[in-house]
Structure 1
């Protein structure tokens, strides 16, 4: 019942249908394309509204003030994301270095942990302000770091987390 000619017809029908759908998608893209076909197209007309875009500038509260009011209890909940790679026990490294006594410790100073060259060459201590900058955007603070965490944007969350970590050995 299922001979070579029937198989050829079915396969040809499937290929033909696929071709029709591909050509239809291409045609629809050409008809309803919202962007220009290059950078040569200028805007047709501009409607003046009489207002200019105003950049909103937030009043930046110094981190020291936010850190002074930080709640270590709230930081304990935030620690869960960090605990996947870091440990709070002294000398027990995970994927990242242990964070016991990290507040006030020299950067890149944990023995037995292979820091990225950027962090290994950094000078200074991990002050709460430095930790906040690193936690906010690790790759911006230390380009080339192996830490893949995307960062914590809220300053209150960073202060709470650092206050919690500081309760361990600092």
Structure 2
């Protein structure tokens, strides 16, 4: 079945296909690569970014909370609204948050807590709330709250200020 003629045709077909691809590559390089692609740069515009930029000092939570904007926290509330309510006594998937600042942790009537919040502390201070909003599972391991957290200290302070202003 495989005689010399079949092998010769197969090798010729392979070489022909290789030649077509090489010619296609050459044509594409001529069409799409400019002639001066490897030429040195004609001039340089100084943007002033060569100097090292000092990193801005990160705000502490107390500084951010002192300058918090409740109106900016209103847009962040939409992340919490899916599970919580600001109306007193109206629990959802999570407990209502009306008056939560300086309220005892786990002190909402009619809501069944998971028990993990006992590790968080005694009272919802703004600092504990900030840590919990940043990473709930780090503050209360085993909590049933599946929230990814808010990394920005300013956003957390604005959200807590909004919750406090709506209470």
The answer for the alignment partner of 1:46 in structure 2 is: none
The answer for the alignment partner of 1:104 in structure 2 is: 102
CA RMSD of aligned residues (A): 1.8
List structure 1 segments (4+ residues) > 3 angstroms apart after TM superposition. 57-60, 120-123
The answer for the alignment partner of 1:80 in structure 2 is: 78
- Structure 2-normalised TM-score? 0.64
The answer for the alignment partner of 1:157 in structure 2 is: 155
Checking the alignment, whether the CA contact within 8 Å between 1:108 and 1:121 is kept in structure 2 is: no
Structure of larger gyration radius: 2
Task: Give the match's secondary structure for 2:124.
Answer: coil
* Structure 2: runs of 5+ lacking an equivalent: 1-54
- List aligned pairs for 1:60-139, cutoff 5 A: 60-120=58-118, 122-139=120-137
- Structure 1-normalised TM-score? 0.63
Alignment coverage as a number of residue pairs: 114
* Structure 1: runs of 5+ lacking an equivalent: 1-56
Q: 1:63 to 1:122 in 2, by over 3 A?
A: closer
Q: 1:122 to 1:66 in 2, by over 3 A?
A: closer
Give the whole-Å Cα distance in 2 for the aligned partners of 1:64 and 1:82: 22
